[in-house]
Amino acid sequence: MERLTVLGAGSWGTTLADILARKGFEAVLWARDPLLAEAIRRERENEPYLPGVKLSPNLRPTASLEEALSGSSLIVSAVPSHGLRDVFSRARPFIPKDAIIVSASKGIEEATLLTARDVIEDTLRENPHSDISVLSGPTFAKEVSVRLPAAVCAASRSHEAAERVQRAFSTQYFRVYTNSDIIGVELGGALKNVIAIAAGICDGLALGSNARAALITRGLAEMSRLGVKMGASPMTFSGLSGLGDLILTSTAHLSRNYMVGHEIGLGRKLPDITGTMKMVAEGVKTSRASRALAERHGADMPITTEVCRVLYEGKDPRDAVLELMMRGLKVE
């Protein structure tokens, strides 16, 4: 039985591991917390992150990186972006040289402005892996875990590697497309979280459906603007990892980023919101990183800028909306 590994036992990592286990692979799920790994093994359920979802008996949880990675042919990272460098630094000695690595993490490292995939590549530079792919698209783990239909894309510079990921994950309810635009796919998955916070603020302020539709559309424009300056194809942002993920994350209460924005729109402060959250809202940190990337590449990203000002500079959300509405008039 072929061994495939998922690093990160949050809701998404657990869901991905369960897909692989149900397809008959020896699916190993690494959890940072030994108590969580033992609870999953004993109860066949990840109660903190996916309560009520019964997991495949083929899924093997462990808190040992050596056990999780030894002999694995495909390694998926579902670690939150801020923890990637630490996890892969510790995992490096145990990663088989011929393993395909897949980043399913969405975010940008603040200190370096590297995407999740590039953080993995940078951490493994002493023993490099040529096939580091990206898996991204409009998915809520809760829905995929109960086998509701969803579609994502697997991006890699190697068509063979992308097809390998596609074959590994595709099922009757989880459809995987391939894509060669790694930069576009990964930026779409990271930047949409910032726009989702803005959409949540919009709804928290009760600004209406017109405002939310305009914000999502202009948010997609600025995501694409930065992506093209960084070498991505503009068409990628019309696909699953761009428009698809943006719509999902900016309109549904299952979205952690949307809910952070919604609570801010209702008047709550960021530390009070994030302090009670069990899972990470990646857009909070990504907002500052994407603003810095925009400044580096000369990309105009007004929505992202205003989100940063609201989150970190104490700007009143209504003032941020007014600022966006009163910018200089221009061609679309």
Q: How far apart are CA 260 and CA 73, in angstroms?
A: 37
How high does pLDDT run on average in the chain?
Answer: 95
Q: Read off the pLDDT of residues 58-111 as tens digits, 9 standing for 90 and up.
A: 999 999 999 999 999 999 999 999 899 999 999 999 999 999 999 999 999 999
Of 80, 56, 40, nearest to 286 (Cα)? 80
Q: Read off the pLDDT of residues 115-143 as tens digits, 9 standing for 90 and up.
A: 999 999 999 988 777 679 999 999 999 99
* Structural domains present in the chain: 3-180 (3.40.50.720), 190-325 (1.10.1040.10)
- Which pLDDT value is given to residue 1? 81
User: Average pLDDT, stretch 264-290?
Assistant: 88
Residue 24: exposed, middle, or buried by beta-carbon count in 10 A (0-12, 13-18, 19+)? exposed
Q: How far apart are CA 298 and CA 282, in angstroms?
A: 23
Residues whose CB is less than 8 angstroms from the CB of residue 329 and which lie 6 or more positions away in sequence, other chains included: none
> How many other CB atoms sit within 10 Å of the CB of residue 271?
8
Q: Read off the pLDDT of residues 191-227 as tens digits, 9 standing for 90 and up.
A: 999 999 999 999 999 999 999 999 999 999 999 999 9
Strands 132-136 and 150-155: what pairing? antiparallel
Q: Read off the pLDDT of residues 281-292 as tens digits, 9 standing for 90 and up.
A: 888 999 999 999
pTM comes to: 0.94
User: Average pLDDT, stretch 7-15?
Assistant: 97
- Which pLDDT value is given to residue 79? 96
Contact (Cβ atoms closer than 8 angstroms) between residue 172 and residue 151: no
- Which pLDDT value is given to residue 41? 97
Percent of the chain with pLDDT over 90: 92
User: Average pLDDT, stretch 157-163?
Assistant: 94
Record the tokens describing residue 198, joined without a space: 């803005």
- Which pLDDT value is given to residue 210? 98
- DSSP tag of 56: P
- Which pLDDT value is given to residue 179? 97
Confidence of residue 276 (pLDDT cuts 50, 70, 90): confident
Is the pLDDT at 236 greater than 80, yes or no?
yes
Percent of the chain with pLDDT over 70: 99
**Residue positions annotated with a catalytic role:** 192
